[in-house]
Structures are given as structure tokens and as C-alpha cells.
Amino acid sequence: MAGRRRAWRSAVAGLCLLFVPLAGCGGRPTADTARTEVQQVLDRRAVALLGHDETAYGRTGTRAPYENVRSVPLASWSYRLTGLHRDGSAATADAELSYRVGGYDRAPVTAARTLGLSRTADGHWYVASDRPAKKADELLWDQGEVAAVKGEHSLILGVGQTGHTLRGYAALADRAVPAVSQAWGTDWARRVVVLVPDSLEDMAGLLGSPASSYRGIAAVTTGEAGGSGRAPADRIVVNPEAYALLGATGRQVVLTHEATHVATRADTTAATPLWLSEGYADWIGYLGTGRTAVQAAPELARAVQEGKLPRQLPPDRDFGFSGEATRLAQAYESGWLACRMIADHWGEVRLGEFYRAVGKHGKRAGAVEEALRKVLGTTPEEFTERWRDYLRAQLD
């Protein structure tokens, strides 16, 4: 009897092994192949987009973002499915979009996406919608059709902008890049990507912050700081509303300032205080403009002339975009004049060495103190007093 039971269990096990690919054993449902099918659709979609095959792309679902992104010189574009939530003939997919702008990005840039999916009567999946995941930043092509203008050292991507306007940005960027290289050196990509959205609100969407954070700010630079030199991409993002209020010199200063952030990214670390990173970018931005200290630092000049000489260099918190406007302006002006003082007293080469030495330290504590001692041969107290004397001489 026991032998028959063992034989029966062996027979059942054999049947389970035989039918696992079809239905499983013990009544478990058939393995869901939807993930594989959806990934295949996304793969076909990526191949069609890169190949500019509009017909093949259309077969995979919605035409977005094909029509909006087709002018962008993409070197790669792919999706990795990270989650699938089915509801009958519909589904929502979580995916990681990976793309690279050819000739500009060191490595693919990733973005979290949420895809709406539907299934046809004959069982084929297609993409009904493609949008940023919750809490993820928008991409420029989420906001409309992207126009692209290539400069000698730049790629300008805009939405809602005329070709004439974008060519103007390219001219500014193409002057900025050589100016930065002349001051900082050539050990960087020496090309920039500039995004020009249609409005302040759209700029904020690209950066994932409220529009109020950037009101009055002409441009910012995105990217990964940390000293690795392997940030996949930097983007200079323009606030078209604030930028339009600037004169020719102001526009050039802004683009050169932001290009400096791109150039110095690998040497800008957690050890680098904002007075140095922003001050250095302004220092290069103002080179050759002929602007005097009073002209370029009006808020700080007003404070000094009223007897309100700063006691110390501005802390990082004073550089917050959402803070008080006068404090923000004075913080930038203070950092610029500190860097200008180093260049005037110790020389421009030594200023660059000081910047790199601070970033190389890795940690904020002791970074500036050590660089002041090793590169400039001074102490924080002596440096601060020299800077305060410089403010009096230049602004009073």
C-alpha cells in the first residue's frame, strides 16, 4: 500500500513538471507574459524613434513624444520596465527612460516615466500615454515640440521660441565657452546644452520646483556635482521672462556664468562653499565687460556706503532663490568680489588653483582653511579682513 502511494505521488510530480509551462501545479494561474510583451513594445518604440520611422512608431501607440523630440540629435533612447499594474485590458507601467544627446552627454540621462497602456481586441499592447512619473521632473519635449539650433560650441533646444531667438542664444553660448576655457582651462567638454522653455512656469517644471523659486533668476545649471567628472549631462535652463529683461552685456554674463558651472563641475564638491562657486562663475562672467565693482555689485555697494559692511563671507543659506532678493544679490556680489580680490592680489592662475584645492578636500570642514594656507599663504581671519578692506576700497 505504501509503495502504491509513493508511485502515485511520483506520477503526480511528473505531471506537474510536464504542465508547469502551461498552467502550473496545484491550481496556480498561468504565468503572466504581459511584462515581456510590454517591454517588447517599448523596445520597438525606441528603435522606431531613433530610426525616425514615424509609421513604425505610430503602430506602438500615441505619437507623443515622437513629434516633439524628433529634432533633438539623440544618440540613444530606451525604456526599462520597472513595474506593471494591470486592470483588465488596461495597464499602467512604471519605466525608466534612458537617453543620450549625441556629442554632448557623457553617458545616458535617466528619467522616471509613467506609461498608460491599452490592449487591443486581438491581444496586442499599445502605449496610450507617456508622462513624467509622480514627483519626477518634466522633460523639455513634455512641454511641446522642440526646435534645435546647433552652434560651434553649443546645442540650443527650445519650445515656443523662434529660430531667430534660439540662434541668439547660440551666439552667446559660443562666445561663453571659449571665454571660460581661457580662464579655467580646457580640461572639460567645452560645449554646452541650453534649454529654453516657453515660460517661467515651464522652467520650473523642468527643475521640479515652484515657479516662485526662480522668479527674477535668468538661468540655472543642472548637473551632478561631486568631483567624479562623470556627470552624464549638464543643462543650462533659461528663464525666458527674466532673460528678456537683460541687456546685451547682462545676457552674455549670464550665459558665461552658467557655462563656468559646466566647466567646473568636476572640481565642485560638497567642500565648495557657494560664495566660491557662484563668485568664481561671476568672476569669469564679468571678465572683459568693463563693469566696475559699483556697477556690477549695486546692492553691496549701497550697503557699504550706508556703513553696513559685511562682517564675513555669505553662508550657503543666503544663496537660496526663495529668500529675500537683496540678501541674494549681496551674496552673489560678495562672492564675486572675493574671487576678484584673489585674482587681483594673488593672480588669476592662483585663483583657479584655490578653487580646485577647495573642491579636492572633499569635505566642507577645513577645506577653505587648508586651501587658504597652502595656496594663498593666509588664514581665514586675514583673508576676511583683506576682503572687507577690498570692499571699502572698491565700493565706498
| CATH number for position 327 | 1.10.390
Same domain, 123 and 216: no
What pLDDT is attached to residue 7? 40
What pLDDT is attached to residue 231? 53
Same domain, 292 and 362: yes
Region 151-164 average pLDDT: 97
> What's the one-letter identity of residue 142?
D
Region 362-375 average pLDDT: 96
Give 324's pLDDT tier (boundaries 50, 70, 90).
Answer: confident
- Which of 136, 170, 185 terminates a domain? The answer is 136
Q: Report d(CA 176, CA 149) in Å as an integer.
A: 16
Same domain, 227 and 296: no
- Which of 236, 264, 292 terminates a domain? The answer is 264
- Which of 217, 245, 264 terminates a domain? The answer is 264
Which cell goes with 142?
Answer: 513634455
Same domain, 244 and 294: no
Residue 21 in any domain: the answer is no
Region 178-190 average pLDDT: 97
User: What is the domain extent for residue 287?
Assistant: 269-396
What pLDDT is attached to residue 10? 41
pLDDT (tens digit, 9 = 90+) per residue, 92-146? 999 999 999 999 998 899 999 999 999 998 889 999 999 999 999 999 999 999 9
Three-point CA angle 114, 118, 119, nearest 5°: 140
Residue 247 in any domain: the answer is yes
Same domain, 47 and 147: no
Same domain, 66 and 117: yes
Residue 7 in any domain: the answer is no
Domain count within the chain: 3
pLDDT over 70 (residue 60): yes
Same domain, 395 and 283: yes
Residue 122 in any domain: the answer is yes
Residue 95 in any domain: the answer is yes
> Please, what sign has the CA dihedral across residues 204, 209, 215, 218?
negative
| CATH number for position 71 | 3.10.450.50
Non-local CB neighbours of 176 within 8 Å, separated by 6+ positions? 192, 252, 255, 256, 258, 259
pLDDT (tens digit, 9 = 90+) per residue, 191-240? 999 999 999 999 999 999 999 989 989 999 997 444 344 456 799 999 99
Region 77-82 average pLDDT: 98
Of 28-32, 42-46, 238-242, 374-378, which range is least confident?
28-32
Same domain, 107 and 122: yes
Cis-peptide into 197, omega within 30 deg: no
Distances (CA, A) of 63 to 60, 114, 153, 160, 161: 9, 16, 32, 19, 22
What pLDDT is attached to residue 232? 64
Of 258, 296, 261, 255, the closest CA to residue 277 belongs to 261
Same domain, 220 and 258: yes
> Please, what sign has the CA dihedral across residues 315, 321, 324, 328?
positive
